[in-house]
Amino acid sequence: MNAPFPAGAEPFLASGQPHPHESAAAHIAGAATYIDDIPELRGTLYAAPVLSRVAHGKLLGVDTQAALALPGVHAVLLAADVPGSKVLAAFAGDEPVLALDTVQHVGQVIGLVVADSVMLARRATRLVMPQIEPLPAILDVRAALAAQSFVLPPVTVRRGEAAQALARAPHTLQGTLEVGGQEHFYLEGQVAYALPQEQNQWLIHSSTQHPGEVQHWVAHALGLDNHAVTVQCRRMGGGFGGKETQAGHVAVWAALAAHKLRRPVKLRLDRDDDFMITGKRHPFSYDYRVGFDDSGRLCGLQLQMLAHCGFSADLSGPVADRAIFHVDNAYFLQDVEIISYRCKINTQSHTAFRGFGGPQGMIVTEAILGNIARHLGLDPLAVRRRNLYSDEAERNTTHYGMQVEGNILQPLLSTLERSANYQQRRAAIASWNVGHTVIKRGIALTPVKFGISFTATLFNQAGALVHVYLDGSVSVNHGGTEMGQGLHTKVAQIVADELGVPLTRVRVSASDTGKIPNASATAASAGTDLNGRAAQFAARHIRDNLAAFVCGLDGVGAGAVQFAAGQVITPQATRSFTDVVAQAYANRIQLWSDGFYRTPKIHYDKTTLTGRPFYYFAYGAACTEVAIDTLTGESRVLQVDILHDVGRSINPAIDIGQIEGGFVQGMGWLTSEELVWNEQGLLSTHAPSTYKIPTAGDVPSHFRIDLWPEPNPEDNVFGSKAVGEPPLMLAISVFEALREAVAQARGDGQAVQLNAPATAERVLWALQSN
């Protein structure tokens, strides 16, 4: 259960308050240290990658003479220089550390130049000449399907008899949808700094969401045991999933160079190289056939999902699995067949991105429901409501066999419908569209139901250390990583409340594999759920030690000892926390402890994708109004109202910031952030000049966020819910509002064929297509 707090202690709690981010002042002052800010040791060298310019080919050789002739160039590393395994320690074992006998995408790293300066290393890479014999490249996902080119086997999930349900359905529709990927565009690019230590040990500073995996990958490539490698990360300048696995590549490359030259080596990717090397959010292609009745209720669905995985598996398996899990979004699917193909194409290997397949699963169903509503001439919100999960026994179980508990979808949507004045605005927009020929408007209200936990059950565990020092100050270390999302702040708040001390007395230190081993990635929105609970348990052990000691002093039971507002209170005496700590130390009482947490209740069969993969669901809804220019295809978001479920918020300021940021990032994915590969497999949109993320000017002046007031019914820390990923999918309301605006502009009652991102060009195509 959630820890009980002493009566009267609530005003002193750190949790539930909008405390600033623990590094906010340092961020503003430019005093927060990132990897590239760490003072460099004397003798540090700099690496830069040599990239393939061919999408697919045989690597016949590499001419390095011209690069090595440059003064200040120390080495050019190729695959032969890898002392350990030449294949990265990824679970599929299908990606080389450096290209071996083939290259498989434009931007694949063939080698590394190591030089006295960053610019010299980068300049020297242009003098390295790979000899590549071109081979046919698969750049289209439909071609990959035809050729049975997969990084992993297809997966099928069925419930009921979809084909028979479709045959019986009063109405059917079929169609396709294309949804593009998304560049992470973290402010701090991929970077690592590898430092040789004594006795063939290594210290790696890595901008990573998963220090434990970086440790394993570096040790694997160097042919060492894991204990010979320590990975540290104080903070990242953004991650969004792009530093979950792919930070490992950069760390391995830096370590290889440092190993060969026995000197510290830093590798920081240029932004263009970062674009060309690293994977993105998976693009998806869909084919569907859906049956429904006169009210819009779904009768049957057949869905084919083609995940554009790139040249290797990376995390494509679990991403595609989560897309299957989230095809339902908030809706009961009675008779359904989903076939998921994990297609191998000659591009960058796509990877984790905020939502991790969830957005790609949800968007197709939202698009289908919008099409159904327009086909029947109904309000799309009415059709969505008609299909929501309910507490009826026959409509509360997902297509993968998990019961939907704590369902607040109906009241949440009704509340937002009223507070956003959805019905009145919908009528006003209809009147506007009648009277205006160029600018047309649309509105949509869409829900989100997002499962919280790693789908790979083994990752749902965490550890933490809490140290109390003689002056009463507290140090916390846990397995999570800070990427700006406020994880360290929330963990500090939780520990402060468990010990009853002011938040200012608690500090969280850098993530470090030498302190917390085998930690899971900070991902799946589970950072606070896992690490916060582990830290709480560690602090509780210390509190129990101190309580037992004070019981002995005052002759009272443990239940009579209270910790609050920096004091330890019994019926006999009130002491400062610091005094109790000093006395406990003098009596040899342990003032540090570890904590461990494993998520309860979860289980599922990964071969059939059935069971309970999630501890709970986070819910939300967004109402978005947009306008489009029918002459240019340009669009603008005019108004956004959000009601989101974070349970009992540990930090409302941080949670609202996550909702804002997630929504805007999702809006960028679906409107302006377009990835374009040319016919040679070159990513043409590889810089801010051609790849457009949202700016402050794209955020509407009316951007209202309210938090659902109820706590998490599951036993989660402070009664909270995860908030990192779910808000991104609220932005599907933008896409659906744009499709509604196009339908209003056309006025022909036909299906709207608008793919994402809905750029101005695509909006024009949708306006003109038949």
pLDDT of residue 10: 58
pLDDT of residue 707: 98
Locate 71 and state its tokens.
Answer: 């003064």
pLDDT of residue 467: 98
Q: Residue with structure tokens 């980068």? A: 122
pLDDT of residue 11: 61
Alpha-carbon distance of 459 to 556, in angstroms, equals: 41
188 φ, ψ to 5°?
-90, 120
Pairing of strands 506-508, 474-478: parallel
Quickly count: other Cβ atoms within 10 Å of residue 761's Cβ: 11
- What's the pLDDT band for 391 if we cut at 50, 70, 90? confident
Note the pLDDT tens digit of each residue in 499-531.
Answer: 999 999 999 999 999 999 999 999 999 999 999
Q: Of 322, 282, 327, 281, give the one whose Cα is nearest residue 304.
A: 327
Pairing of strands 702-707, 635-644: parallel
Q: Of 356, 292, 350, 297, give the one whose Cα is nearest residue 324.
A: 356
Mean pLDDT for the stretch of residues 44-56: 98
Residue 725 among the catalytic residues: yes
Q: What are the residues whose beta carbons fall under 8 Å from the beta carbon of 705, sequence distance 6 or more?
A: 642, 644, 656, 659, 660
Alpha-carbon distance of 368 to 389, in angstroms, equals: 17
pLDDT of residue 607: 86
Alpha-carbon distance of 514 to 491, in angstroms, equals: 20
Containing H/E element for 306? strand 298-310
pLDDT of residue 1: 35
Catalytic residue among 725, 736, 740, 761: 725
Half-sphere exposure of 345 (CA within 13 A, CB side): 29
DSSP assignment of 44-56, as one string?
Answer: -EEEEEEE-SSSS
Find out whether 665 and 30 touch, Cβ atoms under 8 Å.
Answer: no
Q: What is the mean pLDDT of the chain?
A: 97
Length in residues, the chain: 770
pTM metric for this prediction = 0.97
- What's the pLDDT band for 608 if we cut at 50, 70, 90? confident
Note the pLDDT tens digit of each residue in 82-103.
Answer: 999 999 999 999 999 999 999 9
Note the pLDDT tens digit of each residue in 114-158.
Answer: 999 999 999 999 999 999 999 999 999 999 999 999 999 999 999
- What's the pLDDT band for 2 if we cut at 50, 70, 90? very low
pLDDT of residue 393: 73
pLDDT higher than 50, residue 6: no
Alpha-carbon distance of 121 to 223, in angstroms, equals: 26
Buried b (16+ CB within 10 A) or exposed e, 293-324: eeebebbbbbbbbbbbbbbbbbbbbbbbbbbb
Q: Of 532, 544, 541, give the one whose Cα is nearest residue 463.
A: 532
Alpha-carbon distance of 139 to 153, in angstroms, equals: 19
pLDDT higher than 80, residue 12: no
Weakest-pLDDT range from 66-70, 421-425, 526-530, 766-770: 766-770
pLDDT higher than 90, residue 279: yes
Note the pLDDT tens digit of each residue in 202-212.
Answer: 999 999 999 99
Cis peptide before 694 (omega within 30 of 0): no
